[in-house]
Structure 1
């Protein structure tokens, strides 16, 4: 028996039948449950990478990663790689921005620090470079703060 929620299954199943506004709204208000990661991660990546999809829908698909629980290292690595690819290559700077920032919400983000620093340095759009740089700085502060002040003490 699968552990994903009925709401997650409905989003995946019905998404293609909805209007762009409905898809945007569904992703904007969606709160995944703990077991939804395996079902939703690849679906969200596909939506985010679909250049025929409305850009706002693509961005919302990326933003779900901030609250999506991914426990599988292989899946997290695949997600990071796909988001980094979008952050490097997408024509829409808002998508690049969202994807670059989302990398730091995923498990294993510390493995991508050098990659993300080079991505930031190569980014032509000031807004994207500054936002992804700020996401990197916040990630490092959270990581360093957790290292010196563990939550379980």
Structure 2
């Protein structure tokens, strides 16, 4: 990897998905992401890959949504990587043209470690969301997060 992190081992499932992804149909990509069970050591490689899929407006929306959902099951050992992921999910939630993508990205922010640090920003984002459905879903995700956090 070009960012200074070294990868010692990737799970076989992740290796296979990454190798095959460019040749897969949209349905196969979505299915591959849906059944993905990453190992702890996969996160440094998976995050940039998943972000590129989630942010690609050339990608099918259902594939983008599956890529976003994987963030909720990753184990983050690198605070910088986690912060970058969170920031990019917030940007998608605020700016993407697809309301499904905004919804998924905004909701996943509350499943990432350290979401309390961006709670105020998320409330601002929710208030500014033009789509009722997305605004209501994100508000519900925020309430659920706040309940979990308070005990």
The match for 2:61 is 55
The match for 1:102 is 108
Query: For 2:16 and 2:8, how far apart are their aligned partners in 1?
Result: 14
Query: For 2:93 and 2:146, how far apart are their aligned partners in 1?
Result: 19
- Unpaired segments of 5 or more residues in structure 2? 1-6
Asked if residue 6 in structure 1 is aligned to residue 12 in structure 2, the reply is: yes
**1:102-139 CA deviation, whole Å, 9 max, x = no partner?**
01111221111111000000000011111111111111
Q: After the TM superposition, which residues 3-82 of structure 1 pair with which residues of structure 2 at under 5 Å, given as runs?
A: 3-82=9-88
Structure 1 residue 96 displacement after superposition? 0.3
Query: For 2:67 and 2:19, how far apart are their aligned partners in 1?
Result: 15
Structure 1 residue 4 displacement after superposition? 2.4
- RMSD between aligned alpha carbons? 1.0
Using structure 2 for the length normalisation, give the TM-score: 0.92
Query: For 1:35 and 1:137, how far apart are their aligned partners in 2?
Result: 31
The match for 1:116 is 122
Using structure 1 for the length normalisation, give the TM-score: 0.91
- The aligned length equals 145
Query: For 2:136 and 2:61, how far apart are their aligned partners in 1?
Result: 21
Q: Aligned to 1:105, what secondary structure does the other structure show?
A: coil
